[in-house]
Copies of this chain bind each other. A is one copy, B any other.
Amino acid sequence: MPDPTPDGLHLDQSMPTTPDAVDLAHEQLARLWAADGDVLPADRVRFELAVIEILGNIVEHAWIADEGSPSERRLTLALTLTDERLEAVLGDNGRPASIDLSSATMPGADAESGRGLALSLAAVDSLDYERVDGRNLWRIRCDRAPA
């Protein structure tokens, strides 16, 4: 018998590749919280933060402005909620991100930008980036606090 999918809730959504994606992602997350009222506020906040930061980065940085046809841009958001974890996979067909996540650090107190990746890393239990088959995959994982 093939292994059944692990128990949990999965939300898949293809997203606009514009800042509108951010509001749509907030809506998807709201559906997740509506389906399971047991996720603690602290876990919701840190997961939502990382999803929105990574999504915002993709929208802002993954495609070079005016290059290529916007209609060929693809962005997907897959959310998973299990008893143990919150997971998000963001996939896009933009240019490869030349990023070393292990060296993303918080800039000085005066900086008005450049905190997104460091904030995401601080918020969640794991954040990974890989390039697979011409797509960028960003994986976010939050281990849920025991109730």
A97 proximal to B (CB < 8 A): no
Main secondary structure of the interface of A (DSSP, over half): mixed
Min CB distance, A133 to chain B, in Å? 6
Residues of chain B lying within 8 A (CB to CB) of residue A34: 34-35
- Chain B minimum-CB-distance residue to A5: B12
The complex is assembled from copies of this chain, and their number is 2
- Chain B minimum-CB-distance residue to A13: B7
State whether B12 touches A12 (Cβ < 8 A). no
**Chain A residues within 8 Å of B, Cβ to Cβ:** 1-2, 4-14, 31-32, 34-36, 74, 76, 78, 91, 93, 133-135
Residues of chain B lying within 8 A (CB to CB) of residue A2: 133, 135
Most buried by B among A4, A6, A12, A13: A4
Complex-state Cα separation, A11 to B93, whole angstroms: 27
State whether A4 touches B14 (Cβ < 8 A). yes
State whether A135 touches B76 (Cβ < 8 A). no
Min CB distance, A43 to chain B, in Å? 17
State whether A133 touches B11 (Cβ < 8 A). no
Complex-state Cα separation, A6 to B12, whole angstroms: 7
